[in-house]
Amino acid sequence: MSKTNVTQLESPVQNDMPDTFDKAMLAFQKLSVSAKKSGNNPHFRSTYATLEAVMEAATQANQFGLYFSQPLDLIVLEGNIIQVVNTTIVHAPTGEKRTSPCPVSYTHLTLPTICSV
């Protein structure tokens, strides 16, 4: 069998996994994980955390039974269409979820305008 470039990490024993969402979040936050700033923006002479670095940092929560998703959604607010990222964190052992919507785009399109396209 050939070697791969993937390093296997030991998974915590199921009994060691926090039994509530709050305990899992606390355990994850105690790690003080941060995304490494490896990106470079020459226009502003600054560095930033790449999407890959952010994803790598966030997936450290998996060891506590937490995972996340960030689907895009369109919502209608006062007749205007707004694009929203819904960040959802799920505690897999219990199925408990917490969602935080964040608007990322606002257009002056209205339902009658978008429906006529």
Question: Would the pTM of this model clear 0.85, i.e. be above it?
Answer: no
Q: Per-residue confidence at 13, pLDDT binned at 50, 70, 90? A: very low
Mean pLDDT of 19-23: 98
Structure tokens at 101: 């919507």
The pLDDT score that the predictor gives to residue 79 is 85
7 or 106, which is more confident: 106
